[in-house]
Structure 1
Amino acid sequence: MESTGHYHTPVVHYFEDKGFVVIIINLLISYKVKSSSLRKVKTDIVDANHLCELYCKEDLKPYKKRGIQLMNLRHLTRQHDNITGTFVQIKLQFQAVNEEIVMN
């Protein structure tokens, strides 16, 4: 299946509980395979066929559950990125206001 952020997680858990091996494909990789096709058809059947072709052609690894520490680290880095982005925006706004005050 294609990676869909966190939306595919419940489906992955369901299949793992039933004993299936799950392979998650990065969207960039699957998009590259789909865009190489001459015909630009967008249906679920065609998408599934492209994923099957990708499975047959590439050396794909089964999905491995991530540990809680890795998930926490991922969450912390995303929070850090958001906070840093907000800080940069506020700093730029502050500089713009300062420049406007100095010019007046």
Structure 2
Amino acid sequence: MALAGVNITFGYTGVAIAGDGNAGCGPLLAKATASDTMAAAGTSQKTASEGPPGCHPMISITASLAIFYAIGPNPDATNGPRRYYDPAFGTTDIAVNAGDRFAWVAA
């Protein structure tokens, strides 16, 4: 079944391999903590959560239509500040803060 609407996944960056010389975590979403498929515009009830020390919360966004979206504790995708997403972009990964939520409206 094809994606309809917007799918979000909250998580945090990947944990570095012990002894590889890298401190903290990698730049990609590695551990999913919550996800939501939103068929209609609105605000997700799911929130970003803090990962292990040195790992930053992130969100992955995939949509079947062009949207404006906002991220924050009280996001407003209609009045902004907001960003634009087009399905041609593929999945977009963005660093967020613990407690942030996601909101979207059709572009």
Q: Normalising TM by the smaller chain, what interval?
A: under 0.3
Whose helix proportion is higher, 1 or 2? 1
Q: What's the TM-score, normalizing by structure 1? A: 0.21
Q: What's the TM-score, normalizing by structure 2? A: 0.21
Whose strand proportion is higher, 1 or 2? 2
Larger RCO of the pair (alpha carbons < 8 Å, separation 6+)? 2
